[in-house]
Structure formats: C-alpha cells, structure tokens
C-alpha cells in the first residue's frame, strides 16, 4: 500500500511540471518572444530603452528604414525622398496605401504632428537632439512632407530610421495624454497594441491591412497572428523556457550559454555581423589621477583586453581594438591603430617616466598622491566580471581601481554625478558621427559626455561631421575627431557585443537586425510552422 502511495506521489511529481509545460507551450500562430526587462513606457520620443524600441518597431513605422548592412537607408512610410542642394530641405514622398491600426488613413499631417511633437520641449524627449536642427516640418500636400533644417545635418536619415520618430496618431495621443504608450497606442505598424502587463508580457495582434513593410523584408505583411513579448528576468529560466518550447525567440542569451546552445538541436542560432553595441570605460579627464594622460595611457596598455573579454563574455563578444566597429560608416582605421595594445611592461615604463613610482603597498605614488581611482558602473554580471578582471590587470602595473557597482534603479542617477573618476558603460550607435557626437560634444556634459571632455577642436570637427555639405568633408572631420580622442586615451575600448538570436524549431525566417540593439526589428519574415 505504502509503496503504491509513494509511486503515485512520484508519478504525480513528474507529471505536474510536464503538464505545466504543456499548458504553457506556445499557442498556434502566436510568436512568443522572451526578453529580460520591460520598458518604462512605449511612447516613441519618451523612452530611450531598447525594450521600448523592440515593441514600437512592430507597432509603428518610421519614414525611412535601415537595411541589414546598417548603412543603407531604405524606404519606409516614405517611398522616396530628395535632398535640396544646400542640404537643408528633405522632401519625403509618402505611400498612399497606409492606414493606422484604427483604420484611419495615414497622411502627411501625421508626419508633421509626429516630428513636431518629438521636438516640442513640452514632450520632454531625452532624444530631441536626434531630430536635428529643425526649422520647420510642413505638409505641402497630403502625401508630401518637407523637413526643413536650420543647417545641414548629414545624420538625419539615419536618425529617422530610429524608433523615436515612429509615426503616431494625433487623436489617440491627445485622447490618452500622458498615458499614450502606457494604456494604448495607435500606429501604422505590422502589429497593433493588444495589452500590456508591465514586467510580465506585452501582447500584439496582427494589423490586418498591413502590406507596406520596408523592402528589406521578403514579405511586405506580417506572417503571424499574435506576438507576445514575455519578460523572464532570470537567464537560466529564460534558456529553459526556450528549450522547452515555452518561447520561440530571444536575443537575450546569457553569454556563458551561447557555446552550449549551439549543440542544442531544438534551437536555431543566427548572428548579425553588422551590429554596433560597444562596451567601454571612460575617464573623467578633469579628476585627479585620471587627468594625467600617462595614467590613462598606462591603463589602456595594462588591460589585457582579450582575456578580459573572454572571461566576461566567453566568446560571445569581440575585443574592441578601436573606439568604433570597423563596419560603421565613418570608421577611421588610422585612429583604431592608435589605441594602445596590451603591453604591461610598456605600461610600467610610461608610469615610471611620468613620475609614478611604486609605493609600499605596490600602488604607485606621485607627489604624495596614490595612483588610485574610483569606478562606477551598474550591478550586472557582465560589469562585475569585467571590472574585476580589469582591476586585477591594473593591480599588476601598480594602479588601484576601486569598483563601486550600483543597482540600475539608482545607478543611472549616480552615473550622472561628478562623484566618480571613471565609469563603464555600453551603448548602441549607427555611425561614427552618431556615437562621437553623443559622447564627446562639450555641450553634452555632464551626461552623456560623462568624461567632461571639453575640447573646442573636437566640437569644431563634430560640427563639420554633422553639418558639412560634402560627404568627403564630413568623413574627414569625423576621422580627425577619432584620432584626437584616441590620442588622448579618453576611453578604454573593451568589447563589441555580438548579436545572436536563438529561435525554436517551429520558427522560420528569424534574422537578427540589430538597429538600436533591437534584434527582431519588424520581424515580417518570421513564420511559425506549427
């Protein structure tokens, strides 16, 4: 009797999780996307989170789109465009067959409203600057928009591919007020707002009329009825969910698991080579110790980048031997060569020559000051491992790096202060000018220019790179800016993240894109076989 009872209990114990898994298995024609964190809101100009972009790209469209090579601008809601001789007026010809999710036809007035709302100070968009020096945006007829600038802005088309300029419907924005993108949405995208349970899941339903997808996809219309964006914060749980069929796609693959996942037959992995998301350490160049160029050079020389990146990412990232990805528009190979290569002996010589002599505890000293500096970063597994590995490298050359990692809830606030000497961060970019204007323009102090880099020559070069009329002038200027910054060792470039997307057996057509770090972009080619 007792034995039967035990056997029954055992069977029940084994069956319960299986039944649970079956109950949770992804339903027919519903794509379940797994991700790590949610976004604070889904209003295009009001969130800078990658998590917001993931859903907004599916709910709405931008005027122009970005091809898989991350450099060719392709049509979006605008089927064609022209740029005036002086580079100040962009004329967009819009598609005529587009409707919003509520059925309302899309016209030039929606574009005017969207762009004006983006740059309106009342919207308080943290990315207002991305729209460029806008003079005015006018609808010359129902399907023509003139985007007028105060001065040329060579980055405009790239910036307009980002989700911040996604077209929204005025009536819905006004009806929902501050709750737009929180309680509802109305866009022209392949999917429409279904429901949002913050930190749990976001349900999207297919936009039935949609057939105006960007030409980079084989299909102009979505192939799946519903998309559910599900949050699973714990890496191992997310992996298990993918392997057991509770989820179909994820780009949030823990680095340590990537190699193992290649051997799992039920999981398909795809990589996007043109992916620009870099990890770096930046110095506050006006703080003691790290204000010394010799210290910054020695830290660059003393960091065993390959080993640090291997220990942190287990092969799922590439060591960054330059400030930018070689596949980026505007990348300068000369500047990349100026980044010091790992050479601890040279690091010690640089420090000796600059008067930093080893002190009693092994940390170098100059004029009574210890070669010690405080690093801030966020409390995640990657930053912890990366900072710890670098800390050990720097100890060997006599530099003491104190590490303080903050929880993300307070971390971003702390990273906007002047309390620290160096910081570690990662960021997405589209082009050299995009990345460098963000971080090295003196007007972007104290954040995102957390280095307090205040150099009129850099500002001048960045200005030419942004507003120069001839492309050759712009490229020349951004190349010079890269050499200038690299020579000063304002950063330690560390790693280039790789973009991988893992998908279940029943999916087809999953191809990682990576615009602003977003893996699926519009996902128009994704199909489910069962």
Partner 1 sequence: MSAAIEPLVQQEAAPPKRPGTLARLLREPAAAFALVLVVLVIGAALLAPVLSPTDPFDNDLSLAMQVPGSPGLPLGADAQGRNMVTRVLYGLRVTLLMGLASVAIGGILGALVGFAAAYYRRIDGLLMRLMDVMLSFPAILFGLALAAIFGPGIQAVVLALSVATIPLMARIVRGSALAVMGLDYIEAARATGMSDARIILRHVAPNCLSSIFVFATLRFGQVILLGSALSFLGLGAQPPIAELGAMASDGRNFLFFAPHIAVIPCVAIFAVVLAFNVLGDALRDALDPRLRT
Rounded distance, CA 143 to CA 77, Å?
A: 10
Cβ contact 70:327 at 8 Å: yes
Least Å from the CB of residue 197 to partner 1: 25
Q: Residue 253 Cβ, how far from partner 1 at the closest point, in Å?
A: 12
Nearer to partner 1, 144 or 379 (CB): 379
What residues line the site for partner 1 (CB under 8 A)? Answer: 235-236, 254, 256-257, 260, 304, 307-308, 310-311, 379, 381, 384-385, 387-389, 391-392, 395, 403-407, 409-410, 414
* Pairing verdict, β 364-366 and 369-370: antiparallel
Q: Which of 262, 259, 265, 256 is nearest to 235 (CA)?
A: 256
| Residue with smaller CB distance to partner 1, 200 or 236 | 236
DSSP state, residue 276: -
Among candidate residues 454, 435, 358, 433, the one with its CA nearest the CA of residue 400: 358
φ/ψ of residue 330, rounded to 5: 95, 0
**170 or 391: whose CB is closer to partner 1?**
391
Using the minimum distance from each CB to partner 1, give the nearer residue, 219 or 310: 310
- Name the minimum Å distance from CB 414 to partner 1: 8
Rg for the chain (alpha carbons), in Å?
Answer: 25
- What is the pairing mode between strands 226-231 and 30-35? parallel
> At closest approach, how far in Å is the CB of 303 from partner 1?
12
- 234: phi > 0 → left, psi -120 to 50 → alpha, else beta; which? beta
- Minimum distance of partner 1 from residue 379's CB (angstroms): 4
| Shortest distance, position 412 Cβ to partner 1, whole Å | 13
Judged by beta carbon, residue 130 or residue 305, the one nearer partner 1 is 305
Nearer to partner 1, 6 or 412 (CB): 412
- Give the Cα-Cα-Cα angle 68, 74, 75 (nearest 5 degrees): 140
Cα torsion 406, 407, 412, 414 to 10°: value is: -40
CA distance 377 to 229: 28
What ranges in 38-86 are assigned the alpha helix state H? 50-59
The least distance separating partner 1 from the CB of residue 423, rounded to whole angstroms, comes to 14
Nearer to partner 1, 227 or 386 (CB): 386
Residues near 235 by beta carbon (within 8 Å), at least 6 away in sequence: 36, 252, 254, 257
The smaller minimum CB distance to partner 1, of residues 26 and 308, is found at: 308
Task: Note whether 203 and 226 are within 8 A (CB).
Answer: yes
């Amino acid at each position: 009797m007792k034995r039967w009872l035990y056997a029954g209990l055992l069977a029940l114990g084994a069956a319960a999780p299986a039944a649970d898994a079956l109950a949770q298995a992804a339903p027919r024609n519903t794509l379940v996307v797994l991700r790590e964190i949610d976004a604070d809101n889904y209003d295009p100009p009001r969130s800078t989170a990658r998590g917001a972009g993931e859903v907004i790209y599916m709910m709405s469209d931008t005027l122009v789109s970005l091809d898989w090579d991350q450099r060719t601008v392709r049509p979006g809601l605008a089927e064609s465009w022209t740029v005036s001789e002086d580079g100040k007026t962009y004329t967009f010809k819009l598609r005529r067959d587009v409707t919003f999710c509520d059925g309302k036809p899309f016209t030039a007035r929606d574009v005017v409203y969207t762009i004006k709302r983006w740059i309106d100070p009342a919207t308080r968009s943290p990315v207002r600057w991305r729209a460029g020096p806008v003079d005015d945006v006018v609808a010359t007829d129902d399907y023509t928009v003139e985007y007028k600038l105060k001065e040329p802005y060579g980055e405009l088309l790239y910036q307009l591919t980002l989700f911040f300029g996604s077209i929204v419907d005025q009536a819905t924005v006004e009806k929902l007020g501050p709750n737009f993108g929180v309680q509802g949405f109305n866009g022209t995208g392949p999917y429409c707002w279904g429901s949002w349970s913050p930190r749990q899941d976001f349900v999207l339903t297919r936009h039935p009329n949609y057939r105006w997808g960007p030409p980079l996809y084989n299909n102009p219309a979505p192939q799946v009825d519903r998309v559910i964006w599900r949050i699973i914060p714990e890496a191992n749980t997310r992996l298990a969910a993918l392997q057991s069929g509770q989820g179909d796609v994820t780009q949030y693959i823990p680095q340590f698991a990537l190699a193992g996942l290649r051997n799992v037959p039920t999981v398909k992995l795809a990589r996007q080579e043109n992916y620009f998301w870099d990890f770096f350490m930046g110095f506050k160049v006006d703080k003691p110790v790290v204000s010394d160029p010799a210290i910054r050079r020695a830290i660059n020389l003393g960091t065993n980048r390959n080993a640090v990146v291997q220990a942190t990412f287990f092969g799922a990232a590439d060591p960054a031997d330059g400030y930018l990805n070689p596949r980026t528009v505007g990348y300068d190979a000369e500047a990349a060569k100026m980044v010091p290569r790992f050479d601890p002996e040279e690091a010690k010589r640089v420090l000796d020559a600059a008067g930093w002599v080893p002190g009693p505890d092994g940390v170098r000293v100059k004029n009574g000051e210890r070669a010690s500096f405080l690093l801030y970063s966020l409390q995640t597994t990657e930053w912890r491992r990366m900072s710890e590995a670098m800390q050990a490298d720097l100890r060997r050359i006599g530099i003491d790096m104190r590490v303080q990692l903050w929880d993300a809830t307070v971390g971003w606030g702390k990273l906007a202060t002047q309390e620290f000497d160096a910081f570690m961060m990662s960021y997405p970019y589209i082009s050299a000018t995009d990345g460098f204007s963000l971080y090295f323009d003196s007007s972007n102090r104290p954040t995102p220019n957390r280095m307090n880099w205040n150099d009129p020559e850099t500002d001048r070069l960045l200005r030419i790179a942004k507003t120069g009329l001839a492309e050759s002038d712009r490229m020349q200027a951004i190349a010079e800016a890269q050499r200038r910054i690299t020579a000063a060792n304002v950063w330690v470039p560390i790693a280039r993240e790789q973009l991988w997307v893992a998908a279940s057996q029943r999916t087809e057509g999953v191809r990682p894109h990576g615009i602003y770090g977003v893996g699926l972009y519009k996902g128009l080619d994704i199909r489910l076989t069962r």
